Amino acid sequence: MKTVIAALALALTWAVAPLALAQTAPPLPAAMATELVAANRILVNQGVIDVRGHVSVRDPVNPNYFWITRAIAPGLATVADLQAFDLDGKQVGGVSGEAYTERFIHARIFKARPDVNSVVHAHTPSLITFSVSDIPLRPVTTAGLFAGDGVPIHANGLVGEGIHDMPVGDSLAAKLGGKVAVLMRGHGAVIVGQTVRTAVGRAIGLDLNAREQINLFSMPGKIDYLVPPPGAGKASGNYDREWSWWMHQLDSH
């Protein structure tokens, strides 16, 4: 928490500083910038992303722009690290510096899914497990109900390569379709939401569901899967109480 607040203070300084690269996007509002930084750190702290995952948010004014940190370890993110891109993955604002080559994941999903305002890309071990198995990831806990419409698997070649250009980004977005998550074969997963908190909460919930499902398979007997009605992922989840706890854990870590 202290780190996040310090990062915010730093952000306010940065907000008035001239930037080296030509910009067209006005800065992300400070509250949203702080929330995006917190999302990065929470996902790391909860074990969902590691040093190569990322989370983005759609610009609240221009829906063709989105914000994400520059290519750093997300556990080190501050609001001074944010960059803005358009839906073709071209930088339109924020700090200069190396950009994530996988920003096309975010760009093309924001393009294809106007209802989505936040995208998480993670290499969570439990989700990679399901990405190379023919056992489907299915809800076994209320924390994973939102995935009731299924979690498809996108394969990028033979080696679980990342998404480094627009065509493969479009392919991934097509595989995601109207669902809330897509697995990436041998690589990771993408989870989307109407808000940053929803995307983060779902990423944490999907990992939990996957781990419980792996436990279930280590036992004999029949799994009594939950059967949510179609469209379980349409409504935005409320993760405010979780957020207060995850922020506290950041602080006491």
The residues that are catalytic are: 102
- The span from the CA of 137 to the CA of 144, in Å, is 10
Q: How many CA atoms lie within 13 A of 92 on its CB side?
A: 21
Whichever of 96 and 101 has its CB closer to a copy of itself, that residue is: 101
* Shortest Å distance, C-beta 38 to a copy of itself: 15
**Under a CB-based contact definition with an 8 Å cutoff, are residues 100 and 119 in contact?**
no
Whichever of 129 and 236 has its CB closer to a copy of itself, that residue is: 129
Whichever of 234 and 253 has its CB closer to a copy of itself, that residue is: 253
Task: Quote the tokens at residue 116.
Answer: 């989505």
Q: In whole angstroms, how far apart are CA 128 and each of 203, 210, 214, 242?
A: 13, 10, 12, 24
- N- to C-terminal Cα separation, the chain: 10
Contacting residues toward a copy of itself, per CB under 8 A = 50-52, 71-73, 75-76, 123, 125-126, 128-129, 132-135, 139-143, 145, 148, 158-162, 185-187, 208, 211-212, 214-229, 232, 241-242, 244-245, 248-249, 252-253
Whichever of 107 and 143 has its CB closer to a copy of itself, that residue is: 143
* Shortest Å distance, C-beta 50 to a copy of itself: 8
Exposed/middle/buried for residue 157 (C-beta within 10 Å: 0-12, 13-18, 19+): exposed
With tokens 């930037």, the residue in question is 19
Among residues 209, 208, 205, the alpha carbon closest in space to that of 139 is found at: 209
Exposed/middle/buried for residue 228 (C-beta within 10 Å: 0-12, 13-18, 19+): middle
CA 235 to chain CA centroid, Å, is: 17
* Shortest Å distance, C-beta 253 to a copy of itself: 7
* Shortest Å distance, C-beta 42 to a copy of itself: 12
Whichever of 23 and 156 has its CB closer to a copy of itself, that residue is: 156
**Under a CB-based contact definition with an 8 Å cutoff, are residues 108 and 119 in contact?**
no
